[in-house]
Structure 1
């Protein structure tokens, strides 16, 4: 039962992460790809291009979606 609640908590966390990345990508798509934006790395912000941040956000979104799919597949297989 504990693993079920931890996997559902992780699933909820990943769903929020997917939504955050979707919003980030929507915001970045409204900007010129050469526009300068700040990207947070750790506790610091670095100036970079919107294109680079968008590529990074897409990778993070893909990773979060694949982790979410793994959790959902495990949940189905344990039922």
Structure 2
């Protein structure tokens, strides 16, 4: 992926985290795993998005070096 695509992915993960944070804690969410959606908690979904965000940031850092 190019650096611009990675930056767009970072922005996408940041938006997903913000949207998840705006939901009430009692609400369930669905998380995509391959082609299947699984019901999970907001906290687990945020943790996964944060992990993906960190990976994308590392990729951008490597591309800019």
Report the TM-score, using the length of structure 2 for normalisation: 0.91
Quote the offset at 1:61 in angstroms.
0.2
- Which structure shows the bigger proportion of residues in helix conformation? 1
Tell me how far apart the structure 1 counterparts of residues 59 and 25 of structure 2 sit (CA, whole Å): 28
Report the TM-score, using the length of structure 1 for normalisation: 0.76
Report what 1:4 is aligned to: none
Aligned partners of 1:25 and 1:58 also within 8 Å: yes
Larger radius of gyration: 1
Quote the offset at 1:35 in angstroms.
2.5
- Segments of structure 2 that go 5 or more residues without pairing to the other structure are none
1:56-75 mapped onto 2 (5 Å cutoff): 56-73=48-65
Segments of 4+ moved more than 2 angstroms: 32-35
Question: C-alpha offsets along residues 25-75 of structure 1, whole Å, 9 cap, x if unaligned?
Answer: 0001112344210001111111000100000000000010011011111xx
Tell me how far apart the structure 1 counterparts of residues 34 and 26 of structure 2 sit (CA, whole Å): 23
SS in 2 for 1:29: helix
CA RMSD of aligned residues (A): 1.2
- Segments of structure 1 that go 5 or more residues without pairing to the other structure are 1-8, 74-79
Q: How many residues align?
A: 65
